[in-house]
Structure formats: C-alpha cells, structure tokens
Amino acid sequence: MRKRPEQRRAEIANAAAELALVDGLDAVTLRSVAQRLAVTPALIAHYVASMDELRADTVTRLMEAELTAMRAAADAAPTVLDGLRALLGALFRTPRAASAAVWLDAWTQGLRVPVVAEAVRTQMDDWQEFVTGLLARGCAAGEFDTADPDAVAWQLIALADGLNAHSLVSYRDPTAREALLAEVLERSLGLPAGTLSAGAPQAGTDGGEPGSADQGVADQGPAEPDPTDPKPAKSSTAAPKSADPDPADHSRSSP
C-alpha cells in the first residue's frame, strides 16, 4: 500500500535519528537510511532535498528532545536550587554517551557544512536561554547570587560540554566530573561548598561510567558505501526493492 508523504517523511526522520544515536551522524547516508527502511535509495532521495539537510534536521530533532527532557527535570523540582541539582544529575548521572556523541559529530560537521552549523547554533542558543532563565529565577528568589546569569549559564554549558566529551573516552571518574562543575557553579552563584553536590553518588558506588562507551553504546561501524558509486555494494544486507509504487523509485539515486 502506498504511504502518504507525511508518513514517509516521519519514517525517514526516525530512521535517521536512530542511525545517528547508534552509529553516529556520519552514518546517516542515503544508502543507510534506505537499508533501515527496506526501500530503495531513490525513494529516500525523492523526499530528502540533501543529506546535509537531513543530518541538520536530525541534529535539531535529537537536541530538541534532549532539551525538553532537561527542562522537565528542572521544572519538576520544588525550588530553583533543586532544579539546578536535577539538571546536573540529568547531565552526569543518566546515560548520555549517544547524545554527547551526536553533539560532537554535529560540531565537527558544522565546521564544513553550514546548514549543520546553523542547526547547532540554534540549539546552543536554546540551551543558553534555558539555563540563563533558570539561574535568573534563582537570583530573583534569593537562592543564587550573581550579577550576570547569562555569563554563568555559558560557563555551565561550556564546562558540561567538555566534561561530557571526556566521558566518551571514560576520562576521570564520573563523580569527579560532576563535582568539578558543581564546585565551579557554587563559587559563581555564591553558594556554600557542597550545596550542589548534595545527593550526588559517591565515587565507586554509581555502578560504573554513566553513558560511557563501556555501557553498551555501539561501536562505530564500517563506513557506508557511497550511494553515487556505480559499483554494486558488497553487502549481505543489501536493501530489497521497495514495494512502494511511488514513481520516485525510478528517479535520481543521490541527494
């Protein structure tokens, strides 16, 4: 049965997001998406203007979902201070290796792909707005003391990004990474030492590296074949011919 265009686009978006989380943003190719959906590359090309745009859309989709979850964790807390504690916990005590890896992939691709860079900047602005707002509410409630919530928010985000990159290669203890950011924020927000680290897991009791490569994140697989390569792909999992009667099955085969 022929699927509606919006159904096809949703399937493609979901497949691209799954590939990015498991194998990295570079793994989102015309051929890999087609294989995941068991359709022909031509059908994917019919719905996707370019793979650069699909990767940028994938970055936006995944990062927006992550930020929504972070907002929910902070908003559910009874006080702004508890909300900040919840944010730190979500950043460091939940499995985030796949998400952190997508951020790193996006920054790398953004160096050469303007549409990906624009998507990343938009998401970074959204994070900045979220954290600045959280800290400003804390100042208004008398829980924090800083004259520049925006600067402290940028400090938090930059340090969290770096420490999450460290986590991808299991550099240093996860509790120590969280404690480092907590200590910096305590000084920046005029909080007593230990305020933000209260309730954090003790070293050696958190069950291992949260979200690190040793907790089941798939290894980067072999590079996907170039969909423009005229030679047939040497794979035992080649995509079957699509049953979708969409005339695009016989159109162009590259984005």
Euclidean distance between CA atoms 186 and 177, whole angstroms: 14
Length of the chain: 255
Please report whether residue 223 resides in a domain: no
Domain encompassing residue 105: 5-217+229-250
Average pLDDT over residues 147-161: 97
Q: What is the pLDDT of residue 199?
A: 52
Confidence category of residue 243, pLDDT binned at 50, 70, 90: very low
How does 114-149 read in b/e, with b if 16+ C-beta sit within 10 Å? Answer: ebbbebbeebbeebeebbbebbbbbbeeebbebeeb
**Sequence-ordered alpha helix ranges (H) in 96-209:** 97-110, 114-140, 149-168, 174-188
Euclidean distance between CA atoms 146 and 38, whole angstroms: 55
Average pLDDT over residues 25-36: 97
Number of domains the chain contains: 1
Please report whether residue 72 resides in a domain: yes
Q: Looking at residue 153, which CATH number applies to its domain? A: 1.10.357.10
- Mean pLDDT over all residues of the chain? 83
